[in-house]
Amino acid sequence: MDVDLVELARSRGRLAEHPTVDPVTAEIIRGFMETVCFEMATYVSRTATTPILNQSNERNATILDAKGRLAALSVGIPQFMLTSTLPVRFALGFLGPDEFREGDVFVANDPYHGGGHLPDYNVFAPVFAQDPTTGHRRMVLIASIQCHHGDTGGAVPGGYNVTATDIWGEGVRWPVVKVIDQGVERRDVLYTMAANNRIPDYIGDLRAQIGAAQLATRRLSELLERWGTATVEESVDYMIDYASKRFREEVRSWPDGVYEADCWVDHDPLGHPDIHLHCAVTIDGDTLTIDFTGTDTRPEIQAWSTFGNTRGYTVGQIAAMMDPEIPKNEGFFESIRLIVPEGCVLNPPPGKPVSAGTHHPGAEVGEVIALALQHVLPDKAVPQVYKTGIPTIIVGVDPRTGAPFTDHSAEVYAGWCNAAKGMDAWGCQAAAFGNLWKATAEINESLYPHIQWSRDYRTDSGGPGQWRGLCGSHYVKEVRVDAKVYTYVVGMKYPMPGIAGGKPGAPNKLTIRWGSDDPYVVEHTANWVPISAGQKICYDYGGGGGWGDPLDRDPQAVLDDVLDEYVSVEGAERDYGVVLTGSLDDLTLAVDNEATQRLREQLRSNRVRAQQTEQRATDQSSSDGRD
């Protein structure tokens, strides 16, 4: 499916040159809507009943107009922000606007009707006000709250059946169902949904979303009453046009051309290797085209990203490379001409399994765009991605309650955060994780029968560069009961890439029954691997990629890294060409400037010779082929 959102915008005839609403009023109304989005998201975090929502903040709120155009959103996980509109548009098209009535609340989670994967539930409700022309009440806005749930039914607990052969094996699909009908709860629908989910508190999380959507309808009704329907609708149009205008102005400042790149995912959950993504980014005046033609189409692959998911990661990466003051609304999204051929792994044929693909190859969408643009926009080409696979899911029976538990391993850990020009990577996670909050060891140890022993930074795991990538973490967890582990791991063969001459971060490595006589190193998928009480899981999370030539890094910054244990003494010399004297143990290390200069000159010379040798081999191979 080739989707030309630029032409769609122009065909609507929306790009008004003379808006009737003034900019100050439009900004005030936009600010009100964004505050309502924040309130929706906070409402869920404070009322949800499971840790994945009341701790991790894995939720996002948006407001759309009656046509399904995004008007406002809250700060949250970019992927969620950008996949929340399509399920609402499907509902508008399938049911028709007349089926949206005051007091209604809808639920949708189907990846093939706009979503990302089955665990992502979108709950939305219409907002009505009086039409200034007819005097009748009509739908003006739609409030939406999307959250990740801990189970989806299907063959396995946890919402990730990565070995399913089709979407039906992954869980229950809800393209769109009405759970509140004009203010009256549909008990039959909610009971059916609860009966198809393993987690007893699932319905509590769903009710938290319903409550958030209903709260937003009240707040937005107050907005409409205060400012009037016409002013609010004109403000939405104004801000959408403004975002489109700002987007095009920025693209116009980029150098014209076609920029291409390739990247790979290690394997799918079944072990099929080297899932290939190809991207061509075309900049032509103020028009930006992103084309994934040439991306993997092997039918046997079991890692697929839906179009909605691919669109989300695309917009998320582009948004990270632009002025953050540009509003993230329909005007921004539809200014990208996005081409995703149907049948490739980024736009699968109907029925393909997608629970794993929402992460990989979904996340690699941002990576390949950044790689394509690194030579023309190096200052902005920071991949907004991560390399995980899926969460490490542990299931068993909690002896404290006698009830089954599903632990998604959502504790604090670090990894995959790339450096940028002028700044080392820092913190815990890449910006692509948005407001996702990882639980402390103390919180999760109170919820699940395990003990966390380690989550230290891994020395030498951050990608070397003029600016260094973030270190990954050494994460060790001991289970206190007999359990089973289910997960999918990538980033071992293809870790986080370096940019503009930077080096890649260290790869991932997950070992189940770590330190025992029978360790299990995950090659691609852990399919319910047993682990006994007292045994440990060790996940060495990969690091982020570096930015720029490591031999250009300030030697004093390298010394500081060694003192902080981000880089070893050996790594300083090997990766950065920095020679240190003294002892780390007694903190007498110092940079030997003369030796460092000599070593760096030698390393640069060796690099040039290696490049020349490689070029000669390439030229000879081409010559042999012609002969």
Grade residue 11 by pLDDT with cuts at 50, 70 and 90.
very low
Cis peptide leading into 324, omega within 30 of 0?
no
pLDDT at residue 149 in the model: 87
The percent of residues in the chain predicted with pLDDT above 90, rounded, is 74
In a domain, 56, yes or no: yes
Q: Give the confidence band of 6 by pLDDT, cuts at 50, 70, 90.
A: very low
What is the reported pLDDT for 8? 39
Structure confidence by residue, pLDDT tens digits, 126-140: 999 988 888 889 999
Q: Which residue do the tokens 């030796």 mark?
A: 595
Residue-number span of the structural domain to which 586 is assigned: 555-626
520 near 556, Cβ under 8 Å? no
Are 600 and 535 in a shared domain?
no
Residue 293 in any domain: the answer is no
Q: Are residues 519 and 603 in the same domain?
A: no
CB 306 within 8 A of CB 112: yes
In a domain, 437, yes or no: yes
Choose one of 183, 211, 245: the last residue of a domain: 245
pLDDT of 303 strictly over 70: yes
Residue 241 DSSP code: H
For strand 590-591 and strand 580-581, is the pairing parallel, antiparallel, or unpaired?
Answer: antiparallel
Comparing CA positions, the residue from 566, 562, 568 lying closest to residue 587 is 562
Are 211 and 72 found together in one domain? yes
State residue 4's pLDDT score: 43
Supply angle C-alpha 506, 510, 515, rounded to 5.
115
What are the tokens at 429?
Answer: 């996670």
- pTM, 2 dp: 0.91
Query: Is residue 17's pLDDT more than 80?
Result: no
Note whether residue 265 is domain-resident: no
Q: What is the DSSP string of 242-288?
A: HHHHHHHHHHHTSPPEEEEEEEEEEE-TT--EEEEEEEEEEEETTEE
| Structure-token pair, residue 115 | 């979503």
Mean pLDDT for the stretch of residues 492-510: 97
For residue 468, what is the DSSP state?
Answer: P
**Token match 């692959």: residue?**
301
pLDDT of residue 625: 66
Where does a domain end: 502, 519, 553? 553
For the cut 50, the answer to whether the pLDDT of residue 18 exceeds it is no
- Do 104 and 229 belong together in one domain? yes
Same domain, 17 and 72: yes
Q: Residue 19: which pLDDT band, with cuts at 50, 70 and 90?
A: low
Query: How many Cβ atoms from other residues are within 10 Å of residue 350's Cβ?
Result: 9
Determine the average pLDDT of the residues in 191-217.
Answer: 93
Residue 61 lies in a domain: yes
20 and 96 inside one domain: yes
Read off the pLDDT of each residue in 364-372 and give the average, rounded to a whole number: 96
pLDDT score for 77: 72
Q: Same domain, yes or no, for 522 and 586?
A: no
Structural domain count of the chain: 3
264 pLDDT more than 90: yes
Q: What is the pLDDT of residue 52?
A: 73
581 belongs to a structural domain: yes
Looking at the predicted structure, is the pLDDT value of residue 3 above 50?
A: no
| Mean pLDDT along residues 258-266 | 97
Q: What is the pLDDT of residue 5?
A: 39
Tell me: pLDDT of 442 over 90. no
In-domain check, residue 563? yes
If pLDDT is split at 50, 70 and 90, which confidence band does 12 have?
Answer: very low
Q: What is the 3-state secondary structure (H, E, C) of 365-390?
A: HHHHHHHHHCCCCCCCCCCCCCCCEC
Final residue in a domain of this structure, among 496, 526, 553: 553
Is it the case that residue 118 has pLDDT exceeding 50?
Answer: yes
Integer Cα distance of 284 and 252 in angstroms: 8
Q: What is the pLDDT of residues 416-434, one digit of tens each?
A: 999 999 999 988 776 666 6
| Averaged confidence pLDDT in the chain | 91
CB 469 within 8 A of CB 420: no
137-167 burial string, b = 16+ CB within 10 Å, else e? ebbbbbbbbbbbbbbbbbebbbbbbbbbeeb
Q: What is the mean pLDDT of residues 389-409?
A: 92
Q: Do 525 and 606 fall within a single domain?
A: no
**Residue 399 amino acid letter:** P
**The predicted structure's pLDDT at residue 437:** 67
| Residue 19 Cα to chain centre, angstroms | 35
Same domain assignment for residues 118 and 136: yes
